[in-house]
Amino acid sequence: MKNFSETNSLHDLPEVVCGNTSKLYKDCFQDAPDLFTSVQIPVTREEIHSRCRLFRRGIACTNKYLEKCIQKDERKIVENELYGAEKLYDYLCNKVEFQKEFLKNKQCFSHIQRDWQKCSSTYTNILKEEVANEKVDKMQFMHFCCARHAYENCINRAARYKCRNDSATFITTIAKILSTDKRLMNCDKVEKLFCSSAKSLTNRNLFTSNFNFISSLLLIFLRYLS
């Protein structure tokens, strides 16, 4: 994978053409096109730092597009979806101890790659139409929380079966961070009380996100996890 140079600054962003996120994605990452076809996780701090630079640029490109082309209410939806990824990047890019733990447990990611794909395919697109509503009622909130609970448990089971206990705990922490949404900050209490049968949510009708560029951003660090 090419090393994304610091010279690709956040001030040198491509022009935005509303309705053409694929062009924005192509222009924003023109110096690292192979990043999104790679399934390798970063195995050194240098590789972590390279991914972090890419993510920051991707966020800057996204924000530029959102500000010019997307209405405020819809912009909130995207910002909510990105919250978990941004939080994970904050840990990975700025906290040395978290980087050490990530690199220490890198083999576990490889062991559960397919399991993670299966678990996350349900959660990542669930209930988007309801999230688009300005208000989330109690029943919707419970559905959201239980879907997240099922996703985290799915990954936790796979990791504990194939990895050391300490690695499984760390992997589950990553899953929990990625699944965090600003609107679901109080899910822990709901999960303990109501989500013992959360697996039933996996049979709900799902739908695909229209923000393909956002999905691409999530691939920057852990492509195969999406």
Q: Give a three-class secondary structure readout of 139-168.
A: HHHHHHHHHHHHHHHHHHHHHHHHCCHHHH
First to last CA, the chain: 19
Most confident of the following: 132-136, 153-157, 176-180, 218-222: 153-157
Q: Calculate what percentage of the chain has a pLDDT beyond 70.
A: 67
Q: For residues 34 and 53, what is the distance between their CA atoms, to the nearest angstrom?
A: 15
Closest residue by Cα to residue 126 from 109, 149, 153: 149
Question: To the nearest whole number, what is the mean pLDDT of the chain?
Answer: 72
What does the pLDDT read at residue 224?
33
Is residue 116 over pLDDT 60? yes
What does the pLDDT read at residue 172?
92
Q: For residues 57 and 10, what is the distance between their CA atoms, to the nearest angstrom?
A: 6
Is residue 7 over pLDDT 60? no
What does the pLDDT read at residue 31?
60
What does the pLDDT read at residue 222?
39
Token reading at 10: 């956040």
The mean per-residue pLDDT over the stretch 18-27 comes to 78
Report which residue type is found at 172.
T
Number of other residues whose CB lies within 10 A of the CB of residue 71: 8
Is residue 114 over pLDDT 80? yes
Is residue 66 over pLDDT 60? yes
The per-residue pLDDT for range 154-194, each reduced to its tens digit, is 999 999 999 999 999 999 999 888 887 766 667 777 777 77
- 95 in helix, strand or coil? coil
* Strands (DSSP E) found in the chain: none
Is residue 119 over pLDDT 70? yes
